[in-house]
Amino acid sequence: MSDKTLRITQVRSVIGCTKKQKATIKALGLGRPNYRVERQDNPCLRGQIRVVQHLVKVEEL
């Protein structure tokens, strides 16, 4: 496991997205544009980010 932390910011709304993408945003702890969370980097998280990459901005801390 990596000790890197990722800051994930939702930049677009989930209106018009699929149910899977809406569920992924909720699982990440986001909900509305400009919400921000920090999570430990791991392969599972990277997979979730890939599903909603067009809705979020990711920064490494």
Which DSSP string do the residues of 13-24 spell out, in sequence order? --TT--HHHHHH
pLDDT tens for 6-24 read 999 999 999 999 999 999 9
In the chain, where are the structural domains located?
A: 5-60
pLDDT tens for 42-54 read 999 999 999 999 9
* Structure-block tokens of residue 37: 């969370």
pTM: 0.89
CATH superfamily of 5-60: Ribosomal protein L30/L7 (3.30.1390.20)
Element housing 25 (H / E): helix 19-28
Q: How far apart are CA 22 and CA 40, in angstroms?
A: 21
Average pLDDT over residues 31-50: 96
**51 SS3 class:** helix
Confidence at residue 3, expressed as pLDDT on a 0 to 100 scale: 82
Please provide the size of the chain in residues. Answer: 61
